[in-house]
Amino acid sequence: MSQVSIKDIARAANVSHPTVSRALRNSPLVNRETADRIRQIAIRMGYRPSAVARSLVTRKTNTIGVVVTTIADPFIAEVVSGIEEIANERGYSVVLSNSNADADREVKVVHSFHERRVDGIIVTASRVGALYLPLLSQSKSPIVLINNQHTDDDDFVHSVMIDNVESSRAAMQHLIELGHKRIGYIGDAAGFQSDTERFAGYRQSLALAALPFLPELVAHGDGKPEGGARAMEKLLALADPPTAIFCYNDMSALGALGAIHTRGLKVPGDVSVVGFDDLFFASFTRPLLTTIRQPKRRMGRLAMETMLKLFSGENSRTAIRVNGELIVRESTAPPNAVRGASAT
């Protein structure tokens, strides 16, 4: 017998299988002694209840699906780690699926989750949030989005988001207070909402400080070091390059730092750099990276907690907004007096 079932135990204990079921789930309805006896036998036989059989009747899988662009992204990994923490704590399993930021793939993933009858779906940092809505109405599984595109009038969509615009402005204000006038922006060509919003914060800050918006000072990478490096090179090749750069994320900033160094320039002496995310390596770059900290694990936890609330019947639409925190380290300083206007 490959897998023992409650029927096998029932036979061994000379009771009916429902009684075994009750005993194993500590139902008070069953006699103490028989219950104990049954439990003994179950252990002895190495019984493990079948979650799949159980799920079929209870219509609950205690599983949540998490769709990520790729788990190899340190930001996402941290978020997922937070999701897992709460999920495991509460007896839920996490099914992971990567979409490679491809819309088709992403739809397939949601279908696959639906077929597996996951109790809920969490989507991190997708470009195609809007695509979920029609799928949603079918699957009826609650969805919570993390740093995801969605319009505010989607009723069954819940979310936890970093305050991109505000955080972006904090980063920019820091640069502006240091006296920078030519501030560049390195974004992500893929079109994530995070990028759009951070860029919006960038432009607002410029406007607020009565600084001109110069299109030539914005370049696009791919959210990874390589792309950040390429974007930085472009900016550095300008006749009058920026004295400071605000990067869409730390990965881009890492690449930017490298490109600046390769060109023989100094950070922050020649150009200041600000990142976004506060990934672990930000405290280990040379110089240490000034950045906006996102509470990554906490965002994951919040998403999972939101999910649990939904499971327990709460159905008010939740849209949690968390704040970023400016962490000033070593990669920012007043602009070099030699090149531009002096600061402070």
Partner DNA sequence: TTGTAAGCGTTATCAC
Partner DNA sequence: GTGATAACGCTTACAA
Query: Which residues form the interface with DNA (CB under 7 A)?
Result: 3, 5-7, 14-19, 21-22, 24-25, 29-32, 34-35, 47-50, 53-54, 56-59
24 binds, among DNA, a second copy, none (CB under 5 to 8 A by kind): DNA
State in angstroms the smallest separation of the CB of 108 from DNA.
18
Strand, helix or coil at 86?
helix
Closest to 260 measured CA to CA, from 232, 239, 293, 240: 232
State in angstroms the smallest separation of the CB of 286 from a second copy.
4
Binding pattern to a second copy, positions 184-223, x when CB under 8 A? ----------------------------------------
Binding pattern to a second copy, positions 130-169, x when CB under 8 A? --------xxx-----------------------------
Give the one residue of 49, 240, 328, 342 binding a second copy; rule: CB under 8 A: 49
237 binds, among DNA, a second copy, none (CB under 5 to 8 A by kind): none
Rounded distance between C-alpha atoms, residue 263 and residue 132, angstroms: 44
State in angstroms the smallest separation of the CB of 11 from DNA.
11
Pairing mode, strands 291-293 and 319-322? unpaired
- Beta strands (DSSP E) in 213-277 are 218-221, 244-247, 272-274
- At a CB cut-off of 8 Å and minimum separation 6, what does 77 contact? 71
Torsion angle, alpha carbons of 150, 151, 152, 155, to 10: -80
Give the one residue of 149, 285, 290, 291 binding a second copy; rule: CB under 8 A: 285
Which residues are registered as beta bridge partners of 162?
A: 322
Q: Are 219 and 184 in contact, with CB atoms under 8 Å apart?
A: yes
State in angstroms the smallest separation of the CB of 243 from a second copy.
21
When the beta carbons of 52 and 239 are compared against a second copy, the nearer one is: 52
Give the one residue of 39, 163, 165, 258 binding a second copy; rule: CB under 8 A: 258
Which residues are registered as beta bridge partners of 146?
A: 124, 160
- Beta strands (DSSP E) in 212-318 are 218-221, 244-247, 272-274, 291-293
Closest to 123 measured CA to CA, from 93, 155, 157: 157
Residue 117 binding a second copy, by CB under 8 A: yes
When the beta carbons of 61 and 99 are compared against DNA, the nearer one is: 61
Rg (CA), the chain: 26
- Residues of the shown chain interacting with a second copy in the complex, contacts defined by CB under 8 A: 2, 46, 48-53, 55-56, 61, 63, 70-74, 77-78, 80-81, 84-85, 88, 93-98, 111-112, 114-117, 138-140, 225, 254-255, 257-258, 261, 280-281, 283-286, 297
